[in-house]
A and B are shown apart, each in its own frame.
Chain A
Amino acid sequence: MSADVFNADDAERIIAAQMEQARVFYGEDAKGAAPLLPILHALQHAFGHVPPQAQPIIAHALNISQAEVRGVVSFYHDFKTEPAARAVIKLCRAEACQARGCERIAAHLESAYGLKTGARSHDGHISLESVYCLGNCALGPTALLGDDLIGMIDEARADALVAQARR
Chain B
Amino acid sequence: MSVRVYIPADAAAKSIGADAVAAAVRDEAMRLGLAIEIVRTGSRGLLWLEPMVEIETARGRVAYGVVRVSDVANLFAAGFLDGAEHPLSLGLVDDILYLRAQTRLTFARVGVNDPLSFEAYVASGGMMGLARAQAISTDAILDEMTISGLRGRGGAGFPAAIKWRTVRDAQSARKYVVINADEGDSGTFADRMLMEGDPFLIIEGMAIGALAVGADRGVIYIRSEYPHAIHVMNEALRIARREKLLGAHFDVEVRVGAGAYVCGEETALLESIEGKRGQVRAKPPLPAHRGLFGRPTLVHNVLTIAAAPTILANGGKAYGDLGVGRSRGTKPVQLAGNVKRGGLYELPFGVTLRELVYDIGGGTASGRPLRAVQVGGPLGAYFPEHLLDTPLDYEAMAKAGGLLGHGGVVVFDDGVDMARQARFAFEFCATESCGKCTPCRIGSTRGAETLDKIVAGVEVEKNMALVDDLLTLMTDASLCALGGLTPLPVGSALKHFPEDFIRAPKCAAAE
Contacts and interface: CB of A to CB of B under 8 A. Distances in A.
Contact of B337 (A36, A100, A152): A100
A75 B408 CA distance: 27
Interface string A50-64: 000000000000100
Nearest to B295: A29
Given A33-B276, A96-B410, A99-B416, A78 B227 contact: no
A138 interface: yes
B365 A133 contact: no
A139 B15 contact: yes
A22 to B, nearest CB: 9
A142 interface: yes
A72 interface: yes
Given A37-B272, A99-B338, A137-B408, A94 B258 contact: no
Which bracket fits the contact residues of A? 35 or more
Interface stretch (A2-10, A81-89, A113-121, A143-151): A143-151
B12 A138 contact: yes
A131 B183 CA distance: 13
B339 to A, nearest CB: 7
Contacts of A68: 276
Interface string A24-40: 01110100111111101
Contacts of B275: 32-37, 62, 72
A114 to B, nearest CB: 24
Interface in B22-79: 47-48, 50
B225 A131 contact: yes
Contacts of A149: 11-12, 14-15, 228
Among A27, A35, A68, A134, max chain B CB count under 10 A is at A134
Interface centre among B14, B337, B339 (most CB of A within 10 A): B337
A98 B410 CA distance: 10
Contacts of B432: 132
B334 A138 contact: yes
Contacts of B343: 138
A125 interface: no
B138 interface: no
A167 interface: no
Interface in B252-266: 253, 255-261
Interface string B322-350: 00000000000011111100110000000
A135 B410 contact: no
Contacts of B185: 133
Contact of B335 (A95, A133, A138): A138
Contacts of B229: 135
A131 to B, nearest CB: 6
B410 A99 contact: yes
B81 interface: no
A119 to B, nearest CB: 18
Contact of A136 (B15, B217, B231, B378): B15
Contacts of B15: 136, 139, 142, 149-152
Interface stretch (B129-137, B160-168, B187-195, B464-472): B187-195
Contact of B186 (A27, A32, A97, A147): A97
A95 B258 contact: no
B259 A25 contact: no
Interface of A: 25-27, 29, 32-38, 40-41, 62, 68, 71-72, 75-79, 90, 94-100, 131-140, 142, 144, 147-152
Given A25-B253, A135-B193, 13 more contacts: A38-B255, A41-B224, A71-B277, A79-B258, A94-B186, A95-B187, A99-B412, A132-B378, A133-B185, A135-B189, A138-B48, A138-B337, A144-B225
Interface of B: 11-12, 14-16, 47-48, 50, 174, 183-189, 191-193, 217, 224-229, 231, 251, 253, 255-261, 272-278, 292-293, 295, 334-339, 342-343, 365, 374, 378, 408, 410-413, 416, 421, 424, 428, 432
5 contacts: A34-B273, A34-B274, A78-B257, A90-B225, A138-B189
